[in-house]
Amino acid sequence: MLDDSASRAIRRHSAAAYPEECCGAIVGRADGSVRTVTAAWPLTNTSADDRQHRYTIASDEYLMVERRARDEGLALLGFYHSHPDAPAAPSQFDLLHAWPNVDYLIVSVVRAAAADVTCWRLRDDRAGFAREEIQWRPAS
């Protein structure tokens, strides 16, 4: 489940970062196989490479996210990033760098406007991603 406010925050961040990739963390509640994203926290893309095609979340920001999630009683559910002018499907590079047990939301940004949003989870054998269903939850 993706809360409307989190979804909007992700799309806004993706459009603002265009033509660079943006990245951030998604947090919320995990209840068995149903995970509910209640907030998206924008992070800095610190990739030393071409930031139009690459993102990296620095170690200190990662640790900050874990601390903040713990302090606020939220679960770190995964990460989002954008694919400027590219489809919202994981690349080989995404697969190579993927961590298990977290969700990867990918936002396709076409000419500065966020288009598709998809969600992916690394398979346990690291051989690929499994696509996860997203349900949008309107703001209450």
Partner 1 sequence: MATRILIPTPLRPYTDGSDTVELEGATIGDLLKALIARHGDLRRHLYSDEGKLRNFVNIYVNDEDIRHLQRESTPVTPKDTVTIVPSVAGGSTLVERDSPELTREEIQRYSRHLIMPEVGVDGQRRLKAARVLCVGAGGLGSPATMYLAAAGVGTLGLVDFDTVDASNLHRQIIYGVPDVGRRKLDASKERLQTINPALNVVTHEVALTSKNALEILRDYDIVVDGTDNFQTRYLVNDACVLLGKPNVYGSIFRFDGQAAVFAMPGGPCYRCLYPEPPPPGLVPSCAEGGVLGVLPGIIGVIQATEAVKLILGAGQPLVGRLLLYDALSMKFRELKLRRDADCPVCGDHPTIKTLIDYDAFCGITPPKPAGTGSSVPEITVEELKAKYDRGEDVYLLDVREPNEYQICRIAGSKLIPLGQVASRVDELDPSRELIVHCKVGGRSAKAVALLQDRGFKNVFNLKGGILEWIDRVDPSQPKY
Residues that bind partner 1 (CB under 8 A): 19-21, 23, 47-57, 59, 62-63, 66, 69, 75-76, 79, 81, 83-84, 86, 90-94, 97-102, 104, 124-126
Answer whether 104's CB lies under 8 Å from 129's CB.
Answer: yes
Choice between 121 and 137, CB closer to partner 1? 121
Report angle CA 67, 56, 12 to the nearest 5 degrees.
80
49 vs 136 by CB, closer to partner 1: 49
By C-alpha distance, which of 65, 41, 53, 43 is closest to 109?
53
Name the minimum Å distance from CB 78 to partner 1: 8
